[in-house]
Amino acid sequence: MSEEALRQQIQNLKKHNARLKRIAYDARNKLSAALDGTGLCLWQLDIPSGKLVIFNRRWGAMLGFQPNESEARFEEWRAHLHPEDADDVLRAFYDHIEGRAPYYEALHRMLGKNGRITWVLDRGRVTEWDAQGNPLKVTGTHIDMTKEKNYEAQLAMLALHDPLTGLANRHALQSHFSQLLAQGPLCMAFIDLDNFKHVNDTLGHRSGDEVLIQLSQRITEVVPASVVVGRLGGDEFVLLLPFLIDYPKVRILAQAVLDAALTPFNLDNGHAQIGASIGIAPVQPRDSFNDALKRADEAMYQIKKNGKQGFRLAG
């Protein structure tokens, strides 16, 4: 082959190599854009060196970092694992690397920039081994699951809390009731508001809702943390008091709740004045939630019948 022919062949190979590089660069950009749009990060770990190859920029972005602000290394990834999740995540990772699990998978939290927490679904599998069968490379994905976890938390919140006031709903009250009853003495207070209908009729239901919200906050502030405050619906509230019925604090708390209801409410369109009738009953060891609620309701009814705005302790 002549020198000129060899030079021409080298030139052609350089052009072909440049073309392949452009195609690879274009393909990688397209892959990066496609993955970023789905919230998916594709990665590959070189085990001996600890170097991470991130095939798109999503990993740093999901943790709040700018491009090149965080180093793409295994130690960097491990340092950003949430302390409460780190042991489980690393155990799952090494179980796969060491052949005890067919793949690596973990749903966990990562700590990003300024302490930002991101939920990640992490999956991976060994894709290359050396001649002795030792793993060399792991390829996998990170998927940002933060929105899904937040939505899950909101659903859990709605399942156990009254949507208007944020207090425990009936379902949560029943659960707390069983737990507290197993732990020791327990009383139940049933609260029915007085003159609440007048607020709705004169100021409107939006103002009525605001009264319920403000009252919920007041009650929560005057009772200790050990007392469970809940709303059954409408203008009916329940307190689970982990005390004996003759414990002096029961009367003190009942009066504090009554004062909270009697204190006028300042609203955007006026002032509201309500009251409360409160019945308190001791819970017996074999009582169901409804049994205790019925006796507290009966004690409350005696207050309603005798002029409202007070509390009564059942015998």
Question: Is 22 a member of any domain?
Answer: no
C-alpha torsion sign, points 194, 265, 210, 261? negative
Considering the domain architecture, whether residues 221 and 125 belong to the same structural domain is answered as no
Q: What local confidence, expressed as pLDDT, does residue 31 receive? A: 45
DSSP assignment of 58-77 equals HHHHHTTPPTTSS--BHHHH
Question: Is 155 a member of any domain?
Answer: no
C-alpha torsion sign, points 266, 267, 269, 271? negative
Q: What local confidence, expressed as pLDDT, does residue 62 receive? A: 66
Q: What local confidence, expressed as pLDDT, does residue 147 receive? A: 87
- One digit per residue, the tens of pLDDT, for the chain of length 315 reads 566 666 666 676 666 566 655 654 554 554 455 445 556 788 899 999 999 887 656 566 666 666 565 677 899 889 989 999 999 999 999 999 999 999 999 999 989 877 888 899 999 999 999 999 999 999 998 888 888 888 888 887 778 899 899 999 999 999 999 999 999 999 999 999 999 999 999 989 999 999 999 999 999 999 999 999 999 999 999 999 999 999 999 999 999 999 999 999 999 888 999 999 999 999 999 999 999 999 999 999 999 888 888 999 987
- Structural domain boundaries enclosing 219: 161-313
Considering the domain architecture, whether residues 194 and 303 belong to the same structural domain is answered as yes
Question: Is 14 a member of any domain?
Answer: no
Distance CA 76, CA 204 (A): 57
Domain boundary residue among 124, 150, 176? 150
Contacts of 43 (CB under 8 A, 6+ apart): 52, 53, 54, 55, 59, 124, 139, 140, 141, 142
Distance CA 93, CA 125 (A): 9
Considering the domain architecture, whether residues 171 and 281 belong to the same structural domain is answered as yes
User: Within 13 Å and on the Cβ side, how many CA atoms surround 249?
Assistant: 11
Distance CA 292, CA 227 (A): 16
Considering the domain architecture, whether residues 273 and 235 belong to the same structural domain is answered as yes
Q: Is the pTM of this model over 0.75?
A: no
Distance CA 72, CA 315 (A): 69
Question: Is 15 a member of any domain?
Answer: no
Cβ atoms of residues 195 and 273 within 8 Å = yes
Domain boundary residue among 112, 128, 150? 150
Catalytic residue (choose from 122, 192, 194, 235): 235
Please give the order of strands across the beta sheet that includes 228-233.
228-233, 236-241, 187-194, 275-282, 310-313
Considering the domain architecture, whether residues 171 and 306 belong to the same structural domain is answered as yes
Q: Which residue has the tokens 């005890």?
A: 100
Which residue type is seen at 103? Answer: Y
Distance CA 180, CA 6 (A): 90
Q: What local confidence, expressed as pLDDT, does residue 60 receive? A: 62
User: Which secondary structure element, helix H or strand E, spans residue 249, and what is its range?
Assistant: helix 248-262
**Chain-centre distance for alpha carbon 217:** 22
Question: Is 238 a member of any domain?
Answer: yes
Considering the domain architecture, whether residues 167 and 255 belong to the same structural domain is answered as yes
Question: Is 1 a member of any domain?
Answer: no
Considering the domain architecture, whether residues 123 and 182 belong to the same structural domain is answered as no
Q: What local confidence, expressed as pLDDT, does residue 138 receive? A: 94
Angle between helices 196-203 and 205-222 (to 10 degrees): 140
Which residue type is seen at 309? Answer: Q
Q: What local confidence, expressed as pLDDT, does residue 155 receive? A: 80
Q: What local confidence, expressed as pLDDT, does residue 35 receive? A: 47
Considering the domain architecture, whether residues 86 and 220 belong to the same structural domain is answered as no
Considering the domain architecture, whether residues 64 and 40 belong to the same structural domain is answered as yes
Q: What local confidence, expressed as pLDDT, does residue 24 receive? A: 47
Distance CA 191, CA 294 (A): 12
The count of structural domains within the chain is 2
Q: If we measure between CA atoms, which residue out of 237, 236, 206 comes closest to residue 220?
A: 237
Distance CA 262, CA 256 (A): 10
Q: Strands, E, within 147-211: which ranges?
A: 187-194
Q: What local confidence, expressed as pLDDT, does residue 58 receive? A: 59
Cβ atoms of residues 8 and 15 within 8 Å = no
Considering the domain architecture, whether residues 142 and 194 belong to the same structural domain is answered as no
Which residue type is seen at 32? Answer: S
Question: Is 19 a member of any domain?
Answer: no
Considering the domain architecture, whether residues 293 and 185 belong to the same structural domain is answered as yes
Considering the domain architecture, whether residues 285 and 246 belong to the same structural domain is answered as yes
Domain boundary residue among 150, 181, 204? 150
Q: What local confidence, expressed as pLDDT, does residue 54 receive? A: 75
Q: What local confidence, expressed as pLDDT, does residue 243 receive? A: 95
Q: What local confidence, expressed as pLDDT, does residue 1 receive? A: 59
Q: What local confidence, expressed as pLDDT, does residue 301 receive? A: 93
Question: Is 136 a member of any domain?
Answer: yes
Active site residue 235: yes
Q: What local confidence, expressed as pLDDT, does residue 91 receive? A: 96
The tokens describing 176, both together, are 């707390």
